[in-house]
């Protein structure tokens, strides 16, 4: 067992609105060790992006973040000053965003932006920083790195820009990288390349990776651990193998049914879908948030939902003790 990089317990994110408080993330737990990849899966609005921004301390002042435990490399992030948090960001923990087209500053060269990430945290000369940047651009698969450093973001394609973003995240050799839907905005062929790159880099540099996505295809390819989020809660979590082999929460099952499986799904057969919409999280929310869309829902679902253990690390939140796989 290697060291635990990130340990989160009872994380909440509350957004005050004119009409009440939006409980966007409602008490989630997860932990991550060096060398592991955790995929946080969920549909848009499930709170997965907010979770990653909360860990990075990138949410605005208006948004309240709470947690029973929020430890990064043994340090309590809740007790850090904004300045200490700023020193961690980009150094020990880095982030890659969804929109490579708009995530780079149009006014500065790629080289300047890469160097900035290093020079903010290390006392290095510009030349040393440039050398490191060129080296990393090569590592993320960009050829002619030296000339790319002189270019501006608008001269690069989306795939290249996302590689630059990855290189930027790696500049200080962080222990944790959070990638928020890093492939969503890219072409399908490029998506696969970027994912393989992330997986390779994680192994090579022995870092912890959190990948936020709504795409179960991505999860199947890269994840060690999976956390399925729904309406601000983790409804099921465990190793990727456990989740895919024995999905225990009706929502996870629903998600898996939406994916066509070659050989199994017959031509012409309609793909699975989950009817209904995500409930509003403004005001007090109790019971299972999925019950209005769930085929197995009964009166007990509006009570407090127990957290159940399926096997080992595999947990899920449902009133049904044993999953009735035939019904779902």
Measure the CA–CA gap between 34 and 236, rounded to whole angstroms: 22
Please name the residues in contact with 50: beta carbons below 8 A apart, sequence gap of 6 or more.
13, 24, 25, 59, 63
What's the min distance (Å) between Cβ of 242 and another protein?
30
Residue pair 248/310 in contact (Cβ under 8 Å)? The answer is yes
- For position 235 contacting another protein by CB under 8 A, the verdict is no
Q: Which stretch binds another protein (CB under 8 A): 124-132, 134-142, 186-194, 274-282?
A: 274-282
- Residue 289 backbone phi and psi in degrees, to 5: -70, -15
Total residues interacting with another protein, rule: CB under 8 A: 45
Residue pair 165/100 in contact (Cβ under 8 Å)? The answer is yes
Between the alpha carbon of residue 113 and those of residues 107, 119, 125, 144, 181, the distances in Å are 10, 10, 14, 17, 21
Residue pair 160/183 in contact (Cβ under 8 Å)? The answer is no
Residues 51-90 touching another protein, rule: CB under 8 A, are: 56, 58, 83, 86-90
Q: Which of 64, 105, 309, 325 binds another protein (CB under 8 A)?
A: 105
Please name the residues in contact with 107: beta carbons below 8 A apart, sequence gap of 6 or more.
none
Compare residues 62 and 266 and give the one whose CB is closer to another protein: 62
Residue pair 51/59 in contact (Cβ under 8 Å)? The answer is no
Q: Which of 30, 97, 290, 316 binds another protein (CB under 8 A)?
A: 97
- For position 285 contacting another protein by CB under 8 A, the verdict is yes
Tell me which H or E stretch contains 250: helix 250-257
- For position 165 contacting another protein by CB under 8 A, the verdict is yes
Residues 143-162 touching another protein, rule: CB under 8 A, are: 151-152, 154-155
Compare residues 94 and 198 and give the one whose CB is closer to another protein: 94
- For position 106 contacting another protein by CB under 8 A, the verdict is yes
**Binding residues for another protein, per CB under 8 A?**
17, 19-20, 56, 58, 83, 86-91, 94-95, 97, 99, 102-109, 116-117, 120-121, 151-152, 154-155, 165, 168, 277, 279-280, 282-287, 289, 302
């Amino acid at each position: 067992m290697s060291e635990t990089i990130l340990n989160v317990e009872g994380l909440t994110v509350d957004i005050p609105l004119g009409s009440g408080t939006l409980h966007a993330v409602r008490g989630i737990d997860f932990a991550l060790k060096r060398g592991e990849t955790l995929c946080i899966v969920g549909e848009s609005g499930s709170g997965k992006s907010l979770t990653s921004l909360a860990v990075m301390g990138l949410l605005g002042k208006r948004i309240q973040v709470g947690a029973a435990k929020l430890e990064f490399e043994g340090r309590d992030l809740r007790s850090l000053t904004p300045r200490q948090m700023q020193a961690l960001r980009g150094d020990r923990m880095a982030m890659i965003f969804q929109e490579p087209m708009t995530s780079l500053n149009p006014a500065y060269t790629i080289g300047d932006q890469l160097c900035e990430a290093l020079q903010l945290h290390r006392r290095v000369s510009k030349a040393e920083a440039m050398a490191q940047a060129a080296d990393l651009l090569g590592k993320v698969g960009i050829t002619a790195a030296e000339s790319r450093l002189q270019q501006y973001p608008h001269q690069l394609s989306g795939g290249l820009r996302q590689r630059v973003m990855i290189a930027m995240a790696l500049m200080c050799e962080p222990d944790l990288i959070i990638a928020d839907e890093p492939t969503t905005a890219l072409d399908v062929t490029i998506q696969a390349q970027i994912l393989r790159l992330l997986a390779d880099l994680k192994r090579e540099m022995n870092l912890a990776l959190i990948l936020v996505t709504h795409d179960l295809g991505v999860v199947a390819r890269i994840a060690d651990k999976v956390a399925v989020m729904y309406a601000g809660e983790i409804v099921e979590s465990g190793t990727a193998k456990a989740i895919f082999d024995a999905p225990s929460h009706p929502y996870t099952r629903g998600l898996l049914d939406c994916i066509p499986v070659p050989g199994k799904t017959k031509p012409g057969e309609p793909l699975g879908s989950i009817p209904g919409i995500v409930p509003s999280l403004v005001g007090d929310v109790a019971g299972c948030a999925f019950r209005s869309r769930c085929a197995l829902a009964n009166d007990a679902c509006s009570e407090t939902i127990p957290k159940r253990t399926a096997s080992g690390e595999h947990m899920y939140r449902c009133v049904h003790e044993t999953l009735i796989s035939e019904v779902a």
